[in-house]
Amino acid sequence: DPGATAANGALEKNITLKLAKELAQKLEDTGEYRAILTRENDVFIKLSERVKFARDRNADLFVSIHADSISRENVKGVSIY
């Protein structure tokens, strides 16, 4: 499931995985947090399995990162939900 495709051809799955890895590293670098990713490579994991993964590890916070693609040149930025 590649998700959205950017105007330049970039795939959501690659963008979000890279962002997740960078965010996890920044959190770990603070020495205050332990980040556990549900995936380290290009594999699809259903939402229910991701939630179970977090619950099985007694996570305090579960973050699911997504990227949108909008086919309008005048629209720029990010959406957070």
Residue 70, by phi and psi: left (phi above 0), alpha (psi -120 to 50) or beta? beta
Query: 7-65 pLDDT, tens per residue?
Result: 788 888 888 899 999 999 999 999 999 999 999 998 889 999 999 999 999 999 999 88
Hey, what amino acid is at 61? L
Residue 12's pLDDT is: 84
Residue 81's pLDDT is: 61
In sign, the C-alpha dihedral spanning 37, 49, 45, 50 is: negative
